[in-house]
Amino acid sequence: MREYLLTLCITAAVTYLLTGPVRKFAIVAGAMPEIRARDVHREPTPRLGGIAMFFGLCAGLLVADHLPNLNEVFTKSNEPRALLSGAALIWLIGVLDDKFEIDALIKLGGQMIAAGVMVMQGLTILWLPIPGVGTVSLTQWQGTLLTVALVVITINAVNFVDGLDGLAAGMVCIAAAAFFMYAYRIWYGYGIEAAAPATLFAAILMGMCLGFLPHNMHPARIFMGDSGSMLIGLVLAAGAISITGQVDPDAMKLNLGGSARDATHAMLPVFIPLLMPLTIIAIPFGDLVLAIARRTWKGQSPFAADRGHLHHRLLDVGHSHSRAVLIMYFWSALIAFGTVAYSVHSTNMWILLLIVALSAVGLVLLLLPRFTPHAPRWAENFVPPRYRRERRSPAGAAAAERADGAAPEEAYGTSGEPEPGEASGDRPAVGAGVNGATALGTRPRFLDRRKAGSSR
């Protein structure tokens, strides 16, 4: 475990330290597209964040190759080299797209070629565990087609969900953490060395996302672009392919006696590799299916960009940018970690009840877009300002209401936050009149803060 943590930390550090210089390079190279109708950011932001993530991937693999225990992954398997070859190809296509906006069909062809390169080097699905049937061996063509399909679907699912600051990197990081827990348990819990490459891929993927997130959280200073979204999608798919079809039920020493239902429950750890790739990208995959259906229904190309993704709908409902991202994080974590917990304790009804309860909490969060929780008085110094109760004397509150002609909640909603897509510095402070005057004077408060040196 310590070597995995070391690999994760070095990957995250390299990605974090390189993202700043990459941002300056992207600005100089002109990789700052104009604001489009479907975009939610208000200022041109450089792309090419995938460059830093790719070098973080290379650093992680290089460090792991020189660690005593993880070195066995490279000596006994060719999968790390297959991953690096496919990642380099898909990263190069993404860099060209971030700069020159290449055609969608060309990108799709590049994704299929990258998947084919990994298949040629041994990173492929050999057999599938089917519930009620057992292990089914695949022919070479069947394994190749299934591998390519899984890679292409995962890459595009992650690419489609990359629409808000920090959304794609955070969701993939959550998925990688859940996958790491599962793969590590299969390796050390059951002693199956075939799960070692997938465990390493998950640790490196977490490092790539964690190193990039500080630069990508709202308001983002740089976007990962297609060079980053397609890269992390490919690494995520590679981990799933590496462990799917590599698990031997005999090696796991499962008790398959009794009825067919008992045998199915006993083989659940074998079935999870088949289900895990779907659960960890359930939200992006659902968004992908809805987008294809929506665009086809309108007579458009399935690859035509629009503003109808799930995160766009959350903003349209009334959620703020940060809250929409956190809601997507919540559902991704619930599905991914819920699946891992169920695979460990499949007969425990408390797991299902907990998942149902958390799902109800998620639905409540979706239905209350303008609800802002307030921290207790003793904790206000430890939370962001938007969660603090406004302290104002009764006389000051009455004067502010007379200056506005309306309560602050009537002007900006009950949450006190800006509307979706509206920057907090683009509207007058609470209590401001038509000309920006407040009850305390003629100068709005946000101008005073800017003069004092604070900026967005």
Question: Which pLDDT score, from 0 to 100, does residue 398 have?
Answer: 55
Taking CA 188 as the corner, what is the angle to CA 183 and CA 194, rounded to the nearest 5 degrees? 55
Please tell me the distance from the alpha carbon of residue 171 to that of residue 309, in angstroms, as a whole number: 15
Q: What is the mean pLDDT of residues 162-179?
A: 87
Q: What is the mean pLDDT of residues 63-69?
A: 91
Please tell me the distance from the alpha carbon of residue 46 to that of residue 32, in angstroms, as a whole number: 4
Please tell me the distance from the alpha carbon of residue 32 to that of residue 53, in angstroms, as a whole number: 18
pLDDT in tens, 33-61: 666 555 555 677 888 999 999 999 999 99
Question: Which pLDDT score, from 0 to 100, does residue 87 have?
Answer: 96
Question: Which pLDDT score, from 0 to 100, does residue 258 have?
Answer: 44
Q: Which residues, at least 6 apart from 386, have a Cβ–Cβ distance to it below 8 Å? A: 372, 416, 417
pLDDT in tens, 413-445: 333 444 444 444 444 444 444 344 433 344 444
**What DSSP designation does 351 have?**
H
Query: What are the distances in angstroms from CA 416 to CA 31, 161, 301, 325, 440?
Result: 35, 28, 40, 19, 19
Query: Is 159 a known ligand-binding residue?
Result: yes
Query: Is 65 a known ligand-binding residue?
Result: no
- For residue 316 the two structure tokens come to 């349209």
pLDDT in tens, 319-373: 677 788 888 888 888 888 887 877 776 556 777 788 788 888 877 776 676 556 6
Q: How many CB atoms lie within 10 A of CB 86?
A: 27
Question: Which pLDDT score, from 0 to 100, does residue 442 have?
Answer: 41
Q: What is the mean pLDDT of residues 100-107?
A: 88
Question: Which pLDDT score, from 0 to 100, does residue 419 have?
Answer: 41
Band the pLDDT of 384: cuts 50, 70, 90.
low
Q: What element of type H or E holds 136?
A: strand 134-137
CA R_g for the chain: 25
**What DSSP designation does 399 have?**
H
Band the pLDDT of 230: cuts 50, 70, 90.
very high
Please tell me the distance from the alpha carbon of residue 195 to that of residue 247, in angstroms, as a whole number: 8
Question: Which pLDDT score, from 0 to 100, does residue 183 have?
Answer: 86
- For residue 278 the two structure tokens come to 């779907």
Question: Which pLDDT score, from 0 to 100, does residue 292 have?
Answer: 78
